Amino acid sequence: MTTGQLLDELVGRGSSRANARQIISRRYSQDGLWRSDKLQLPRRERLIAPKEEVGSPKFQSCAAALLSDCRPGIARLLRALSSRRAVLRSHAAMLVAAPLAKRKRVPSFAEELEALAELGVLLDGRDTSFERVLSGCLPGSDQSIALGISLQSRRQAEIALAKIVAAHLRRLGILSWGGVTVANPSPGYVPFNDLPFCATGYSWLKPLIRQGKSGKAAPTPMVFHVRATRCNQDDVSSLLDRVSRAGFNARTRLPILAFIAAPDFDSRAWNQAKKNGFLAANLNDLFGNMGLEAMVAVEEIMKGIVGNPERLDPNAISGLCTLLGELKANPILADLRSLSLESVSGLILRSQCWEDVQLGVTVPHRQTTRDVDVYGSRELGEVAKLIECKAAHAHKDLEPGDVHKFFTETVPAFLRSTGRERNVQKCEAEIWTTGTVGRAAKDCMHAIECDHRVQTRLLDGAELVQSVPDRLGRAKELLRVISLAI
């Protein structure tokens, strides 16, 4: 309960307010009562509870109920932890819906984490791509590591879904082709006005064009929240809070178009999204059941990338082979083929002892961005591996234009940004294709003068199959299916 509720209860039992305060203070000083310090409620109230109950599931459930109105972000995260035990830091930031940096009169996400620590919520995996908040299991335990691997593989699947959805909206003309940014696996979100989202972009649809500060026409910002699991009310309300805070200004209010997508919605979440004017999409209806089944299989493969590839369920690869063979006219078939190749490439890197393997790393390039399909590192990041994946027909030659763009734009962009941050001394930059590598592509690569740290290489489909280790034998079959699923 809160200090105010306890005070009222003691007064109701016949104590004066002054005496009730003394009783609470005496019990607190005798070390039998816990009181929150950093977690404050309106009118400077605190949470209060018997010390032995702090951090227990019952305690956190009661705290979530008490905080649902005055601190809804913390309440949302506590409810998520009660059912999942662990939540990725990136997802926690979205649920809490607090600014990433400190603001006046609004606690930052870091400050909210300090308040949550008082409630028994712990951090694990600091400075890794699957840093997470925990409740009910110990940091560093096997259970915590397994939860982190599962959560990060799902997050990578959600990022892949966000890219597919953004490409679909571009083709429909809803989302502009330029200015779209999708989250990297680490930190797992894109900041927009200091609030975290899965992706951001702009819409030039005529009804959404607004007047900018200079009087010229300006597009409406568009933010995304994409889930790989069922969407509930907390997902919708957290997006509403982030949109509200991102658009807040002392003088004007920035209009923002919010897009939320998931394989399924509970009815209250769907109604709440529509009521608040969100663009909502049921991915099962948009891409079909088989398309989403393929995404689930990709998510299973990603567990081998984040964790131990030798523990990968071989049925995940077999199932994906079957689904890609049956998906003939699905609108996301090309995206699934590309994502499948990136997943297999990530598995190959992990089997070769590359660390911190990530898919779809975005790096800034001039006024836009470039994507590194697969990234891995060694020697504390000083050796980097960059792979451009081309899911092509078995008889299709690699285009020289793709070779030129990767080695003259993507690789230098990586070295200028991420490479500088991680002090990269050596960079292995390669293009892997399920098609063929012709003379024109090889000549183009040899004609490019790369940075002295860069080693270049092109692999065709046959070489790619040979690079698959025996313990990932079914990945060879998947590569063949990718090269024929046209």
Q: What is the mean pLDDT of residues 151-172?
A: 90
**pLDDT (tens digit per residue) in 107-117:** 899 999 998 98
How many other β-carbons are positioned within 10 Å of the β-carbon of residue 156? 30
| Whole-angstrom distance, CA of residue 257 vs CA of residue 277 | 8
Q: Select, from the ranges 209-218, 366-375, 457-466, the one with the highest average predicted confidence (pLDDT).
A: 457-466
| Whole-angstrom distance, CA of residue 443 vs CA of residue 456 | 12
For the chain, the structural domain boundaries read 1-52, 154-287, 324-484
According to the model, what pLDDT value does residue 251 have?
65
Q: Which residue has better confidence, 129 or 464?
A: 464
CATH of 324-484, one of 2.40.240.20, 3.40.1350.10, 3.90.1150.10, 3.40.50.2300: 3.40.1350.10
> Is pLDDT of 11 > 70?
no
CATH of 154-287, one of 3.10.129.10, 3.40.50.720, 3.40.1350.10, 3.40.50.300: 3.40.1350.10
Q: Which residue has better confidence, 328 or 10?
A: 328
- Closest of 184, 257, 253, 194 to residue 220, by C-alpha: 257
According to the model, what pLDDT value does residue 422 have?
83
**pLDDT (tens digit per residue) in 236-284:** 999 999 999 998 765 668 899 999 999 999 999 999 999 999 999 999 9
Enter the tokens of residue 378: 């060694």
pTM: 0.84
From 72-86, 205-219, 347-361, the region with the lowest mean pLDDT: 205-219
Assess contact for 470 and 349: CB atoms under 8 A: no
According to the model, what pLDDT value does residue 23 have?
64
Helix extents (H) in 307-399: 314-326, 333-351
Q: Are strands 132-134 and 190-192 parallel, antiparallel or unpaired?
A: unpaired
Enter the tokens of residue 461: 């489909």
Average pLDDT over the chain reads 88
**pLDDT (tens digit per residue) in 23-39:** 666 665 556 677 777 88
Q: Are strands 257-262 and 368-378 parallel, antiparallel or unpaired?
A: unpaired
For residue 364, give the H/E element and its range.
strand 355-365
- Rounded to the nearest 5 degrees, what angle is found at the Cα of 19, between the Cα atoms of 16 and 23? 135
How many other β-carbons are positioned within 10 Å of the β-carbon of residue 434? 29
| Whole-angstrom distance, CA of residue 219 vs CA of residue 177 | 12
Please tell me if the domain spanning 154-287 has the same topology as the one spanning 324-484.
yes
Q: Are strands 368-378 and 86-88 parallel, antiparallel or unpaired?
A: unpaired
**Above pLDDT 90, what percent of the chain?**
48
